Chain A
Amino acid sequence: MAGAVNIMVRRRITALFLIMGCISFLLTFRLVWIQFIRSEYYQEEALKQRMREVQVEPKRGIIFDRNKKELAVSASADSVFAVPAEIKNAHKTAEALAEVVDMEVVYLETLLSKKQSFVWIKRKIDDKNSQKIRSLDLDGIGLTEESKRFYPNGTLAAQILGFAGIDSQGLDGLELYYDQYLRGAPGWIVAERDATGRKIPQGEQKYLPPKNGNDVILTIDEVIQYITERELSKAMQETQAKSGTAIVMDPKTGGILALANYPTYDPNHFGKYPQTSWRNASISNSYEPGSTFKTITAAAALEEGKTTINDHFFCSGSIKVGPDRIKCSHTEGHGSQSFADIVKNSCNPGFVTVGQRLGKDVFGKYIKAFGFGEKTGIDLPGEAKGIVRPPEQLRPIDVATNSIGQGIAVTPIQLAVAVSAVANNGKLMQPHLLKEVRSPDEKVIKKVTPTIVRQVISQETAKTLCETLAGVVTKNGTGRNAVIEGYKIAGKTGTAQKPGPHGGYAPGKYVGSFVGFVPADDPRLTVLVSIDEPKGAYYGGTVAAPVVREIMRDSLQYLGIPPSEPIDNDKGQNNTGESSQYLEESLNRTIHVPPLTDLSIVEARQMAKLLGLKVQIMGEGSKVVNQIPKANVRVVPDTTIILYLGDEQKNMAQGNTDQKGKMEVPDVTGKTIRDVAEIISYESMDINIHGSGIAVRQKPHAGEKVNQGTLVEVWFEPPSVHE
């Protein structure tokens, strides 16, 4: 039977089979090596390459004003990225995407064709566009949530706040200065990912939550800041000046209440403004203070006993200093006058005389003691020192010019701080913007207490000088334009010529300024305003004093500081009722929200209707117990004011809860993030903010009944500029 295939072939085939068997055995041994002996190593290496860390951005801390109004917040925003490996047709994808992300198709196509596992297309886009991209549903294009810095008040306090960059890092202003507090620490998601960067389902995963940034609470008062900016901007329109600065501070603590510069910018879109507008001129610009500096000369002379308030001086219209002659603004001369009158009239020869009596060393000592020539140490980046020449370099003419505020350069903040020392019984305070730092769980991490830098002059001298400076702001003083009926204001005007490019002074270029405090007997506010290169009138008493007056008047009213002086009753316009003021403003298209609390529903409705505002009633009761927006906030006509009713305080705490513990969701559309947050928190609900600007959509809808603690999603969009 075995004859069909010859014996050798059979043997060979058998040999073949044995060889193949050997190969099988070798391969099996190879498997043993890989799967047993080296298994652990390969397993570790494989896991190592698949585990990727993804950083989770912390939420940047909020910047609040002193009353916990939000000045800078972080809202979540979507960022667009591409996974090029998943994109089949880069050109088509680019075409579909180009319009939404506002980029060139060609450029986009190169991005989408990159040999990278991950490419950012555009970071932090607004909600409308992110929804568009979501609806396009393109392969290889994804959205991820990041946090975006948002400044709900736009330009308000821009140069103080500064701004944060795309990676939420502080770049300027307080965002930079307090970056370490605001920034927080990133968390990590460590997850097993595929070769293109996607998470592997049921893969290994670890999560280390981010540490959110701390909140920074400022000494700034949003309302005073707003008043200050409004008045400064108004003055800039009227004077057509190149730039302007205004500072409002509490002389007793050194806390800055408001600090404004013009021109300004919107930190939400800082890139669209020239870099010069980011500059905080009030701390970084040095200028010749002119007559406002005479306050310092007077303080030194009175403290040193070189003059008393009743000493008499003679002004012939000029004074000779060596070969030079310094003129008085009143060229015919003031004649014989007391030191009080010298201050009141800002008489140059008088101040030169007391300056000479002081001498360069003593005067220099006071200039230094008042903080000139050194940084004030205010908590902002980019502060300048000013220029003060050391006493040994001063010639007689320099002493003379310094005593009238020339030949010396100071920053606005230095001057405000120095004058505040006069207001504060001679104690020079450390100026500051930070009130406290709080952790996200409201623990106080840092609290700033008022710091006395030094006692510059005695309390008695300070009191005397306050009285003297109060004489300036009277009907016949140089500061007459700063007079407010009922309040005693101390202050000093100043008009300085600007230095020209080739030495000497530039003709027709002036800085008009005014610095003062109120009430003079118990100062609460120091206000400095300087207007740079106004067109037309340029005297500090003309261009700056009225601005100070307006800032002071509204701030005093806002702070509820009562008038201390008798009021001439012949005008009587102060008693026409509060509504008239608000009514007047409604004509200007923006309305100050009136205080409606403690009114009945009928009264509140009437008041609102009168001003062109709508109301929405929440809760039950006979009286308005709370309102949102709060009084004095500026809104556009037809804004809905939410009124919370109640009989007593007890209703306050529970919002508009009905019997079953369910609450009605309030209508938040048309409101700012801050207002929405306040409304929602008042209702004991939680809020999730999408986008930025004005609320346009919400979920659940207004009027739906929900439980306490329900998460309300609110979408915001930037308001259009034309409205």
Chain B
Amino acid sequence: MSGRRRDPDYVLYLTVVILLGFGIVMVFSASSIKSFVRYGDSYHFLKRQIIWVVIGLIAMTFTMKVNYQIYRRMAKPILYTTIALLVLVLIPGVGKEINGSQRWLGYGSLTVQPSEIAKLGIIIFMAKYFSDKEEKMQNFMHGLLPPLLVLGVIFGLILKQPDLGTALAIAGSVFIMLFAAGARIGHLAFLASLSLPAVGAMIWLEPYRMRRLTAFLNPQADPQDSGFQILQSLYAIGSGGLVGLGLGRSRQKFFYLPEQHTDFIFAVLGEELGFIGAVTIILLFFLFLWRGYKIAIYSRDTFGSILAVGITSLIGLQAAMNIAIVTSSMPVTGIPLPFISYGGSSLVITLAGVGLLLNISKFSIHQARK
């Protein structure tokens, strides 16, 4: 594996940097009021976001330099570590509980979310597995079942926190990887048909998920609680119109929108920058997907290809889910908008993944277009 190295995909790189730029500006705009009211400092979240972006870029530079083949060898230890961390976070007293979810590990303000690490960990593991067992992918029992069991364990552990959004994003990414790796359409359809009653059961078992679902179907019926978020989000985006109210001029960020600088930041963006701003973001993600899948297609080996599909799909899926939730196109579940939402671990892991993607691009076999 000592092929001639090329430049990384600068288009992808630039796309990510632009998205990060949007993120910093929007985090500041969306959070300044809350920051001031809560911390007496309008820049509270902005400062922290900048620090996370810097940390994320360092992580990205690092993974961009490290030959991705290393992960192939380390896939199993990475998986075990991931599972260990996911178990650790569930132990009372070890994992930190915030807002009823036990998702964090660490001391003070230095915390990490194992579920974020799990995103990348499981993608690396699956990429190795699928590329090793390329010929067995057609076989359900020997090809598909083992990785599905691994996924099941991780999915269960994350659901236990509970963090349905992340669990779904991971499951979705693995499913996409299966598809890309050449699993039979029949098998995939079977899996999909199995997952529907499973999701139904998860909703049924947790009253708040049920409320979110009914609120999604009819937000006006419950304007105080679950429906409130959706309505406020629609009010925000709807008020934006074509060009928006102007940067910093969101009205809904004045405590009407919940999570205005994290999960619902796209609503503030839609209100302030209008349809033009919102579509720009969608186009940037589309550009990212194009470059990511292109890297996958022109990867030197199947491992790199599947890995690139996994990372690209994970980011694309999260973006699609987030925008779908904020525009009330699917029920509410907590999922950040990659590169844009305020958030530490998530941003760093996402950027580390992008670095990995860029590293794969360096070994691309595609010559024609430089």
Contact = CB atoms under 8 A, between A and B. Distances in A.
B182 A6 contact: yes
Nearest to A41: B238
A575 B254 CA distance: 78
A713 interface: no
A34 B238 contact: yes
Contacts of A39: 238-241
B236 interface: yes
A129 to B, nearest CB: 26
B275 A36 contact: yes
B20 to A, nearest CB: 20
B196 interface: no
B107 to A, nearest CB: 23
B238 A5 contact: no
Nearest to A35: B275
Contacts of B181: 9, 12
B120 to A, nearest CB: 19
A17 B290 contact: yes
B180 A46 contact: no
A610 interface: no
Contacts of A20: 286, 289, 313, 316, 320
Nearest to A30: B327
A195 interface: yes
Interface string B286-316: 1001100100111111100110010001001
Contacts of B309: 13, 16
Interface in A14-34: 14, 16-17, 20-21, 23-24, 26-28, 30-32, 34
User: Size range of the interface on A?
Assistant: 35 or more
B105 to A, nearest CB: 26
Contact of B180 (A12, A32, A34, A49): A12
Contacts of A45: 231, 235
B252 interface: yes
Interface in B210-261: 231, 234-242, 251-252, 254-256
A653 interface: no
Contact of B240 (A13, A35, A85): A35
A31 B279 contact: yes
Contacts of A194: 33, 254-256
B22 interface: no
The A interface is mostly helix, strand or loop, or mixed, namely helix
Contacts of A31: 237, 270, 275, 278-279, 282, 327
B68 interface: no
A193 B290 CA distance: 43
Given A12-B179, A42-B234, A50 B256 contact: yes
Contact of A46 (B239, B300, B306): B239
Contacts of B320: 20, 23-24, 27
Contacts of B297: 5, 10, 13-14
A721 interface: no
A37 to B, nearest CB: 9
Interface in B323-353: 323-324, 327, 329
A24 B236 CA distance: 20
A630 to B, nearest CB: 54
A50 B252 CA distance: 9
A16 B286 contact: no
Contact of B251 (A14, A46, A198): A46
A35 B278 contact: yes
A9 B302 contact: yes
Contact of A42 (B33, B182, B237, B305): B237
Given A27-B327, A31-B270, A200-B251, A13 B279 contact: no
User: Size range of the interface on B?
Assistant: 35 or more
B191 to A, nearest CB: 15
Most B-side CB within 10 Å, residue of A10, A13, A16, A30: A13
B275 A4 contact: no
Contacts of B274: 35
A12 B176 CA distance: 10
B32 to A, nearest CB: 11
B88 interface: no
A13 B238 contact: no
A23 B319 CA distance: 11
B254 A27 contact: no
Nearest to A10: B297
A196 interface: yes
Given A6-B182, A24-B286, A31-B237, A195 B305 contact: no
B256 A49 contact: yes
A33 to B, nearest CB: 9
A341 interface: no
A3 to B, nearest CB: 9
Contacts of B234: 34, 38, 42
Contacts of A196: 255
Nearest to A198: B254
A21 B252 CA distance: 30
B55 interface: no
A372 to B, nearest CB: 64
A41 B367 CA distance: 52
A1 B320 CA distance: 34
Interface string A107-132: 00000000000000000000000000
A86 B320 CA distance: 35
Contacts of A193: 254
B244 to A, nearest CB: 9
Most B-side CB within 10 Å, residue of A14, A23, A30, A200: A23
Nearest to A33: B327
Contact of A9 (B176, B182, B252, B282): B182
A52 to B, nearest CB: 12
B365 interface: yes
A587 to B, nearest CB: 61
B104 interface: no
A8 B240 CA distance: 43
Interface string A172-206: 00000000000000000000111110101001000
Nearest to B179: A12
B37 interface: yes
Most A-side CB within 10 Å, residue of B179, B239, B270, B324: B239
Given A16-B176, A39-B241, A49-B235, 18 more contacts: A1-B365, A8-B182, A13-B293, A13-B296, A13-B297, A16-B309, A16-B313, A17-B290, A17-B293, A20-B289, A27-B323, A30-B324, A30-B327, A31-B282, A32-B275, A35-B242, A45-B231, A49-B256
15 contacts: A4-B305, A9-B302, A9-B305, A12-B179, A13-B309, A17-B290, A20-B289, A28-B279, A34-B327, A36-B242, A39-B240, A42-B237, A42-B239, A50-B251, A194-B33
Among all A-B residue pairs, the 10 with the closest Cβ atoms: A42-B238, A194-B254, A46-B235, A195-B255, A35-B275, A5-B305, A17-B293, A43-B239, A30-B327, A12-B180
